A and B are shown apart, each in its own frame.
Chain A
Protein backbone atom coordinates (compact mmCIF):
# COMPACT_ATOMS: atom_id res chain seq x y z
CA UNK A 1 0.00 0.00 0.00
CA UNK A 2 1.29 3.44 -0.89
CA UNK A 3 1.75 5.80 2.02
CA UNK A 4 -0.12 9.03 1.27
CA UNK A 5 -0.76 12.08 3.39
CA UNK A 6 -1.51 15.74 2.86
CA UNK A 7 -1.79 18.96 4.84
CA UNK A 8 -2.33 22.65 4.30
CA UNK A 9 -1.22 25.50 6.51
CA UNK A 10 -2.10 29.17 6.18
CA UNK A 11 -0.65 32.02 8.19
CA UNK A 12 0.00 35.74 7.90
CA UNK A 13 3.33 37.08 6.68
CA UNK A 14 4.92 37.79 10.04
CA UNK A 15 8.54 36.85 10.45
CA UNK A 16 7.95 34.94 13.67
CA UNK A 17 5.82 32.52 11.62
CA UNK A 18 9.00 31.33 9.84
CA UNK A 19 9.79 29.06 12.77
CA UNK A 20 6.16 27.91 13.00
CA UNK A 21 6.09 26.93 9.31
CA UNK A 22 9.34 24.96 9.25
CA UNK A 23 8.65 23.17 12.53
CA UNK A 24 5.17 22.16 11.35
CA UNK A 25 6.50 20.81 8.05
CA UNK A 26 9.24 18.93 9.92
CA UNK A 27 6.65 17.38 12.24
CA UNK A 28 4.50 16.37 9.27
CA UNK A 29 7.45 14.70 7.54
CA UNK A 30 8.59 12.93 10.73
CA UNK A 31 6.40 9.90 9.98
CA UNK A 32 8.85 8.97 7.18
CA UNK A 33 11.59 8.56 9.78
CA UNK A 34 14.03 10.95 8.08
CA UNK A 35 17.63 11.46 9.23
CA UNK A 36 18.57 14.59 11.16
CA UNK A 37 20.26 15.90 8.03
CA UNK A 38 17.19 15.35 5.85
CA UNK A 39 14.96 17.11 8.39
CA UNK A 40 17.41 19.96 8.70
CA UNK A 41 17.57 20.33 4.89
CA UNK A 42 13.77 20.49 4.61
CA UNK A 43 13.46 22.96 7.49
CA UNK A 44 16.09 25.22 5.95
CA UNK A 45 14.46 25.14 2.51
CA UNK A 46 11.02 25.92 3.98
CA UNK A 47 12.49 28.74 6.05
CA UNK A 48 14.11 30.27 2.94
CA UNK A 49 10.90 30.12 0.92
CA UNK A 50 8.74 31.57 3.70
CA UNK A 51 11.30 34.33 4.34
CA UNK A 52 11.25 35.19 0.64
CA UNK A 53 7.46 35.44 0.69
CA UNK A 54 7.55 37.75 3.71
CA UNK A 55 10.50 39.94 2.73
CA UNK A 56 10.20 40.04 -1.06
CA UNK A 57 6.65 38.92 -1.89
CA UNK A 58 4.88 41.08 0.65
CA UNK A 59 7.80 43.43 1.42
CA UNK A 60 6.90 43.22 5.10
CA UNK A 61 3.25 44.16 4.59
CA UNK A 62 0.58 41.73 5.74
CA UNK A 63 -0.69 38.97 3.50
CA UNK A 64 -1.42 35.26 3.62
CA UNK A 65 1.15 32.56 3.01
CA UNK A 66 0.02 29.06 2.19
CA UNK A 67 2.13 25.95 2.77
CA UNK A 68 0.88 22.69 1.29
CA UNK A 69 2.67 19.51 2.05
CA UNK A 70 2.17 16.10 0.48
CA UNK A 71 3.69 12.74 1.16
CA UNK A 72 3.49 10.08 -1.50
CA UNK A 73 5.34 6.91 -0.69
CA UNK A 74 8.73 8.37 0.39
CA UNK A 75 8.53 11.58 -1.62
CA UNK A 76 7.74 14.85 0.12
CA UNK A 77 6.33 17.76 -1.88
CA UNK A 78 6.23 21.19 -0.26
CA UNK A 79 4.41 24.01 -2.00
CA UNK A 80 4.75 27.53 -0.62
CA UNK A 81 2.66 30.26 -2.19
CA UNK A 82 1.92 33.92 -1.61
CA UNK A 83 -0.19 36.60 -3.28
CA UNK A 84 2.60 39.12 -3.18
CA UNK A 85 4.22 41.23 -5.85
CA UNK A 86 5.83 38.38 -7.79
CA UNK A 87 9.34 37.96 -9.18
CA UNK A 88 10.30 39.97 -12.22
CA UNK A 89 13.17 37.80 -13.39
CA UNK A 90 13.19 34.30 -11.93
CA UNK A 91 16.47 33.26 -13.52
CA UNK A 92 18.22 36.28 -12.03
CA UNK A 93 16.63 35.74 -8.64
CA UNK A 94 17.92 32.18 -8.61
CA UNK A 95 21.54 33.21 -9.21
CA UNK A 96 23.72 32.57 -6.15
CA UNK A 97 24.55 35.79 -4.30
CA UNK A 98 21.98 37.81 -6.26
CA UNK A 99 19.76 39.87 -4.01
CA UNK A 100 17.33 42.64 -4.80
CA UNK A 101 17.86 44.07 -1.32
CA UNK A 102 21.64 44.16 -0.73
CA UNK A 103 21.44 46.97 1.80
CA UNK A 104 19.64 44.71 4.28
CA UNK A 105 22.48 42.20 4.72
CA UNK A 106 20.84 39.62 2.51
CA UNK A 107 23.17 36.95 1.24
CA UNK A 108 21.28 36.10 -1.94
CA UNK A 109 21.63 32.40 -1.15
CA UNK A 110 17.95 31.55 -0.58
CA UNK A 111 17.16 29.86 -3.90
CA UNK A 112 20.62 28.26 -4.03
CA UNK A 113 19.98 26.64 -0.66
CA UNK A 114 16.48 25.49 -1.67
CA UNK A 115 17.89 24.04 -4.88
CA UNK A 116 20.75 22.16 -3.26
CA UNK A 117 18.98 21.00 -0.10
CA UNK A 118 15.96 19.59 -1.95
CA UNK A 119 15.86 17.20 -4.93
CA UNK A 120 13.96 19.62 -7.13
CA UNK A 121 12.75 23.21 -7.12
CA UNK A 122 10.15 24.85 -9.31
CA UNK A 123 9.43 28.58 -9.20
CA UNK A 124 6.27 30.00 -10.76
CA UNK A 125 5.56 33.69 -10.48
CA UNK A 126 3.25 36.26 -11.99
CA UNK A 127 3.97 39.94 -11.42
CA UNK A 128 1.36 41.48 -9.17
CA UNK A 129 -0.34 38.13 -8.57
CA UNK A 130 2.06 36.06 -6.52
CA UNK A 131 4.68 33.35 -6.37
CA UNK A 132 4.53 29.61 -5.91
CA UNK A 133 7.53 27.53 -4.95
CA UNK A 134 7.32 23.75 -5.32
CA UNK A 135 10.05 21.61 -3.82
CA UNK A 136 10.41 17.84 -3.68
CA UNK A 137 12.62 15.55 -1.69
CA UNK A 138 12.69 11.80 -1.36
CA UNK A 139 13.41 10.56 2.14
CA UNK A 140 15.72 7.58 1.97
CA UNK A 141 14.68 4.39 3.62
CA UNK A 142 16.86 3.83 6.65
CA UNK A 143 18.14 0.32 6.92
CA UNK A 144 17.57 -0.92 10.40
CA UNK A 145 20.38 -2.65 12.25
CA UNK A 146 18.52 -5.93 12.76
CA UNK A 147 17.83 -6.05 9.07
CA UNK A 148 21.51 -5.64 8.26
CA UNK A 149 22.58 -8.37 10.64
CA UNK A 150 19.87 -10.66 9.28
CA UNK A 151 21.04 -10.07 5.73
CA UNK A 152 24.61 -10.73 6.80
CA UNK A 153 23.55 -13.94 8.50
CA UNK A 154 21.73 -15.08 5.37
CA UNK A 155 24.78 -14.39 3.28
CA UNK A 156 26.64 -16.68 5.66
Chain B
Protein backbone atom coordinates (compact mmCIF):
# COMPACT_ATOMS: atom_id res chain seq x y z
CA UNK B 1 0.00 0.00 0.00
CA UNK B 2 1.24 3.45 -0.92
CA UNK B 3 0.28 6.42 1.22
CA UNK B 4 0.09 10.05 0.15
CA UNK B 5 -0.97 12.97 2.30
CA UNK B 6 -1.84 16.41 0.98
CA UNK B 7 -1.56 18.83 3.84
CA UNK B 8 -3.58 21.70 2.30
CA UNK B 9 -6.59 19.59 1.63
CA UNK B 10 -6.13 17.37 4.63
CA UNK B 11 -6.45 14.58 2.11
CA UNK B 12 -5.01 11.12 2.73
CA UNK B 13 -4.84 8.68 -0.17
CA UNK B 14 -4.16 4.98 0.26
CA UNK B 15 -3.33 3.27 -2.98
CA UNK B 16 -3.78 -0.41 -2.25
CA UNK B 17 -1.39 -2.56 -4.23
CA UNK B 18 -1.96 -5.97 -2.62
CA UNK B 19 -4.68 -8.58 -3.00
CA UNK B 20 -7.20 -7.96 -0.21
CA UNK B 21 -8.00 -11.09 1.78
CA UNK B 22 -8.13 -11.89 5.48
CA UNK B 23 -4.35 -12.17 5.60
CA UNK B 24 -3.49 -8.87 3.89
CA UNK B 25 -6.43 -6.93 5.33
CA UNK B 26 -4.79 -7.12 8.76
CA UNK B 27 -1.68 -5.35 7.49
CA UNK B 28 -3.65 -2.74 5.54
CA UNK B 29 -5.83 -2.07 8.57
CA UNK B 30 -2.88 -1.57 10.91
CA UNK B 31 -1.05 0.68 8.51
CA UNK B 32 -4.15 2.74 7.61
CA UNK B 33 -5.13 3.27 11.24
CA UNK B 34 -1.64 4.44 12.03
CA UNK B 35 -1.63 6.96 9.18
CA UNK B 36 -5.15 8.21 9.95
CA UNK B 37 -4.23 8.85 13.57
CA UNK B 38 -1.01 10.48 12.54
CA UNK B 39 -2.43 12.90 9.94
CA UNK B 40 -6.01 13.35 11.18
CA UNK B 41 -7.26 13.81 7.60
CA UNK B 42 -10.58 15.37 6.61
CA UNK B 43 -10.84 12.97 3.70
CA UNK B 44 -9.46 9.49 3.29
CA UNK B 45 -9.51 7.90 -0.16
CA UNK B 46 -8.90 4.22 -0.81
CA UNK B 47 -7.68 3.81 -4.38
CA UNK B 48 -8.45 0.32 -5.76
CA UNK B 49 -6.83 0.83 -9.16
CA UNK B 50 -4.13 -1.79 -8.51
CA UNK B 51 -6.27 -4.28 -6.61
CA UNK B 52 -6.47 -7.54 -8.54
CA UNK B 53 -8.40 -9.49 -5.93
CA UNK B 54 -10.68 -8.74 -3.00
CA UNK B 55 -12.93 -10.94 -0.88
CA UNK B 56 -15.24 -10.02 2.01
CA UNK B 57 -12.27 -9.03 4.17
CA UNK B 58 -12.25 -5.79 2.17
CA UNK B 59 -15.75 -4.93 3.40
CA UNK B 60 -14.78 -5.09 7.06
CA UNK B 61 -11.53 -3.28 6.36
CA UNK B 62 -13.23 -0.32 4.66
CA UNK B 63 -16.10 -0.06 7.16
CA UNK B 64 -13.63 -0.22 10.03
CA UNK B 65 -11.63 2.68 8.56
CA UNK B 66 -14.85 4.58 7.91
CA UNK B 67 -15.63 4.39 11.62
CA UNK B 68 -12.07 5.21 12.61
CA UNK B 69 -11.91 8.28 10.33
CA UNK B 70 -15.37 9.44 11.44
CA UNK B 71 -14.28 9.29 15.06
CA UNK B 72 -11.45 11.68 14.21
CA UNK B 73 -13.65 13.97 12.13
CA UNK B 74 -12.84 12.60 8.68
CA UNK B 75 -14.71 10.89 5.90
CA UNK B 76 -13.82 7.86 3.77
CA UNK B 77 -14.20 7.61 -0.03
CA UNK B 78 -13.54 4.86 -2.55
CA UNK B 79 -11.89 5.37 -5.93
CA UNK B 80 -11.11 3.38 -9.08
CA UNK B 81 -13.23 0.36 -8.18
CA UNK B 82 -12.77 -2.55 -10.56
CA UNK B 83 -15.81 -4.59 -11.61
CA UNK B 84 -15.10 -7.43 -9.21
CA UNK B 85 -14.40 -5.11 -6.28
CA UNK B 86 -17.54 -3.08 -6.99
CA UNK B 87 -19.61 -6.28 -7.08
CA UNK B 88 -18.56 -7.16 -3.54
CA UNK B 89 -19.04 -3.66 -2.14
CA UNK B 90 -22.43 -3.32 -3.83
CA UNK B 91 -23.61 -6.65 -2.47
CA UNK B 92 -22.75 -5.72 1.10
CA UNK B 93 -24.34 -2.26 0.95
CA UNK B 94 -20.99 -0.48 1.45
CA UNK B 95 -21.71 1.74 -1.57
CA UNK B 96 -24.79 3.13 0.17
CA UNK B 97 -22.65 4.22 3.08
CA UNK B 98 -19.39 5.24 1.44
CA UNK B 99 -19.19 7.45 -1.65
CA UNK B 100 -17.28 6.59 -4.76
CA UNK B 101 -15.14 9.41 -6.15
CA UNK B 102 -12.90 9.97 -9.14
CA UNK B 103 -9.24 10.67 -8.62
CA UNK B 104 -7.92 12.96 -11.32
CA UNK B 105 -4.27 13.55 -10.61
CA UNK B 106 -4.08 11.77 -7.32
CA UNK B 107 -4.43 15.26 -5.86
CA UNK B 108 -7.96 15.89 -6.89
CA UNK B 109 -11.13 14.24 -5.91
CA UNK B 110 -14.61 14.94 -7.21
CA UNK B 111 -15.48 17.11 -10.14
CA UNK B 112 -17.02 19.70 -7.85
CA UNK B 113 -13.90 19.87 -5.80
CA UNK B 114 -11.82 20.24 -8.90
CA UNK B 115 -13.95 23.23 -9.95
CA UNK B 116 -13.50 24.71 -6.52
CA UNK B 117 -9.82 24.30 -6.82
CA UNK B 118 -9.59 25.85 -10.26
CA UNK B 119 -11.36 28.87 -8.83
CA UNK B 120 -8.88 28.93 -6.02
CA UNK B 121 -5.86 28.70 -8.26
CA UNK B 122 -3.19 30.16 -6.01
CA UNK B 123 -3.90 27.71 -3.33
CA UNK B 124 -3.87 24.90 -5.84
CA UNK B 125 -0.46 25.70 -7.32
CA UNK B 126 1.10 26.02 -3.94
CA UNK B 127 0.00 22.59 -2.99
CA UNK B 128 2.82 20.26 -2.23
CA UNK B 129 2.95 16.65 -1.48
CA UNK B 130 4.08 15.87 2.00
CA UNK B 131 6.94 13.46 1.86
CA UNK B 132 6.53 10.47 4.06
A residues with a Cβ closer than 8 A to B are 15-16, 18-19, 22, 37, 40, 43-44, 47-48, 51, 54-55, 97, 104-107, 109-110, 112-113, 116
Is B60 in contact with chain A by the CB < 8 A criterion?
yes
- Residues 38-70 of chain B, each 1 if its beta carbon lies under 8 Å from chain A, else 0: 000000000000000111110111011000000
Q: Chain B contacts of A40 at CB under 8 A?
A: 53, 84
- What CA separation (Å) do A4 and B53 show in the bound complex? 28
Total contacting residues, chain B, CB less than 8 A: 21
- What CA separation (Å) do A37 and B85 show in the bound complex? 11
Contact A105–B29 (Cβ < 8 Å): yes
- What CA separation (Å) do A54 and B25 show in the bound complex? 15
Contact A47–B60 (Cβ < 8 Å): no
Quick check: which of B6-14, B15-23, B104-112, B116-124 contacts chain A, the rest being far away?
A: B15-23
Q: Chain B contacts of A18 at CB under 8 A?
A: 21-23
Would you list which residues of chain B between 88 and 105 have a CB under 8 Å from chain A? 88, 91-92
Interchain CB contact (< 8 A) of B64 among A22, A37, A47, A105: A105
Contact B91–A51 (Cβ < 8 Å): no
Q: Chain B contacts of A47 at CB under 8 A?
A: 21-22, 53, 55
Q: 14 extra interchain contacts, Cβ-Cβ under 8 A, other than A51-B21, A106-B56?
A: A15-B26, A18-B21, A19-B19, A40-B53, A40-B84, A47-B55, A48-B56, A105-B61, A107-B56, A107-B59, A109-B56, A110-B56, A113-B55, A113-B91
Provide a sorted-by-A list of 19 A–B residue pairs whose CB atoms are within 8 angstroms: A15-B21, A15-B23, A19-B19, A19-B23, A22-B53, A40-B53, A40-B84, A44-B84, A47-B53, A47-B55, A105-B60, A105-B64, A106-B60, A107-B59, A107-B60, A109-B59, A112-B91, A113-B56, A116-B91
Nearest CB on B from A86, distance (A): 20
In the complex, which residue of chain A has the Cβ closest to the Cβ of B58?
A: A107
The 4 closest A-B pairs by CB, nearest first: A105-B60, A15-B23, A107-B59, A47-B55
Is B126 in contact with chain A by the CB < 8 A criterion?
no
Interchain CB contact (< 8 A) of B55 among A48, A97, A104, A116: A48
Is B113 in contact with chain A by the CB < 8 A criterion?
no
Is B2 in contact with chain A by the CB < 8 A criterion?
no
